[in-house]
Amino acid sequence: MTPLQQRIAGHLQLLYPQLDAMEFAQECLAQFGLAADAPSPTPHRNLWDQSDVAVITYGDSLRSEHEAPLHSLLGFLNTRLQDCISTVHILPFFPYSSDDGFSVMDYTTVNPSLGNWDDIARLSRHFKVMGDLVINHCSSRSLWFENYKQGVEPGAGYFVEASPDTDLSAVVRPRTSPLLREVKTPGGERHLWCTFSHDQLDLDFQNPRVLLEFLKIIRLYLDKGIRWFRLDAVAFLWKTPGTPCINLPETHEVIRLLRLMIEHRAADAVIVTETNIPNRENLTYFGNANEAHLIYNFSLPPLLINTLITGCCKHLKNWLMTMPPAQYGTTYLNFIASHDGIGLRPTEGLLSDWELDTLIGTLQRFGGHLSSRTTPGGATRPYEINISLWDAFRGTAAQGPDQWQFARFLCAAGIMAALEGIPAFYIHSLFATENDDARVEHTGSFRSINRHIWQAEDLESALSSDTHHRQVFDAMRKLLRLRRQQPAFHPNATQYTLHTGEALFSFWRQSIDRHQSLFAVYNISDTPQTFNLSELNLIATDEWVDLISGERFEDPVAQVRLMPYQFLWLSNRHD
Show which residues are catalytic: 232
Contacts of 423 (CB under 8 A, 6+ apart): 53, 54, 334, 335, 416, 417, 483
Contact 273, 332 (CB under 8 A): no
By the 10 Å C-beta count (0-12 exposed, 13-18 middle, 19+ buried), 39 is classed as exposed
Q: Nearest to residue 277, comparing CAs of 334, 352, 344, 356?
A: 344
Q: By three-state DSSP, how is residue 497 classified?
A: strand
Q: Nearest to residue 38, comparing CAs of 215, 264, 262?
A: 264
Q: Nearest to residue 521, comparing CAs of 488, 558, 567, 554?
A: 567
Cα separation values, 128 from 54, 224, 332, 336, 481, Å: 9, 12, 17, 21, 17
Cα separation values, 564 from 336, 405, 423, 479, Å: 20, 11, 24, 18
Count CB neighbours of 179 within 10 A.
19
- Going 91 to 49 to 274 to 270, the CA torsion angle's sign is positive
Listed in sequence order, the DSSP H helices in 137-272 are: 143-150, 208-223, 249-265
Q: Nearest to residue 272, comparing CAs of 52, 511, 99, 84?
A: 52
Give 78's DSSP letter. I
Distance CA 211, CA 11 (A): 12
In this structure, the dihedral spanned by the alpha carbons of residues 254, 260, 263 and 264, taken in order and rounded to 10 degrees, is: -140
Distance CA 70, CA 187 (A): 43
Of how many residues is the chain composed?
575
Please give the helix or strand (H or E) that residue 283 lies within, else none. helix 279-283
Please give the helix or strand (H or E) that residue 424 lies within, else none. strand 422-426
Q: Crossing angle for the helix pair 249-265 and 208-223, nearest 10 degrees?
A: 30
Cα separation values, 310 from 301, 496, 505, 526, Å: 14, 23, 13, 9
